[in-house]
């Protein structure tokens, strides 16, 4: 099957944005990050959107944003960790899951990075969220890559998969 876009999913802090940027460079594709687009359109940080308008409103922005972004083709799209849980990812997207352990995520994220994520503030709540979501990420993805590796290895694995399947 020919896909329109590559959509990266995975829990907060799994590395979707870093992998997405590197992959886009490698494939000469445009990179877009759903959270960044939402923040720019709302002129507000994710934290402020959660605080002032609530999570449900944020989820509706995510669905609208992924629908609009996928009107175009040939992009690498990084999603927020909750997007595939609450929104339908349009068909003809090649979904790649960046599969990370919760403890590895916590270890890797700086305090600043943690503070940008309202749902990571309470560690036990975040761990429960991770446990609830992990199977869905794996089921939705056509391909999962282990987050425990260096960016060039990711790119290599994803690139091989794409070439193998002649997908983009
Ligand atoms: C969320 C993940 C965040 C951001 C928001 C909610 C989630 O994105 O969309 O804080 O529900 O997992 P990252 O996965 O890029 O941190």
- Looking at residue 149, the DSSP 8-state letter turns out to be S
- Give nearest CA residue, ligand 1 atom 11: 82
The domain spanning residue 150 has which CATH number? 3.40.50.300
Distance 167 CA to ligand 1 centre (A): 27
Q: Residue 94: in which H helix or E strand, if any?
A: strand 93-99
SS3 (DSSP) at 125: helix
- Give nearest CA residue, ligand 1 atom 8: 80
Q: Is the pLDDT of residue 162 over 90?
A: no
Q: Give the contacts of 90 (CB within 8 A, at least 6 positions apart).
A: 4, 66, 67, 70
Pocket of ligand 1 (CB under 6 A): 12, 35, 46, 80-82, 117-119
In a 10 Å sphere around its CB, with 0-12 CB exposed, 13-18 middle and 19+ buried, how is residue 151 labelled? middle
Instruction: Please state the rounded mean pLDDT for residues 3-14.
Output: 95
Instruction: Please state the rounded mean pLDDT for residues 138-152.
Output: 91
Question: Higher pLDDT residue, 7 or 164?
Answer: 7
| 66-115 tens-digit pLDDT | 999 999 999 999 999 999 999 999 999 999 999 999 999 998 888 888 99
Q: Is the pLDDT of residue 128 over 80?
A: yes
Range of the domain at 157: 5-165
- Domain total for the chain? 1
């Amino acid at each position: 099957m020919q896909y329109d876009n590559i959509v990266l999913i995975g829990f907060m802090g799994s590395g979707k944005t870093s992998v997405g940027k590197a992959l886009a460079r490698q494939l000469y594709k445009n990179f877009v990050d759903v959270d960044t687009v939402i923040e720019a359109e709302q002129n507000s940080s994710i934290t402020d959107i959660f605080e002032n308008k609530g999570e449900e409103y944020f989820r509706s922005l995510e669905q609208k944003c992924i629908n609009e972004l996928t009107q175009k083709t040939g992009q690498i799209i990084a999603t927020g960790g909750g997007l595939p849980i609450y929104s339908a990812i349009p068909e003809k997207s090649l979904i790649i899951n960046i599969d990370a352990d919760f403890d590895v995520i916590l270890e890797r994220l700086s305090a600043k990075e943690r503070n940008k994520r309202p749902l990571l503030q309470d560690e036990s709540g975040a761990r429960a969220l991770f446990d609830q979501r992990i199977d869905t990420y794996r089921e939705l993805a056509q391909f999962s890559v282990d987050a425990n590796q260096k960016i060039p290895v990711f790119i290599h694995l994803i690139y091989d998969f794409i070439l193998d399947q002649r997908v983009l």
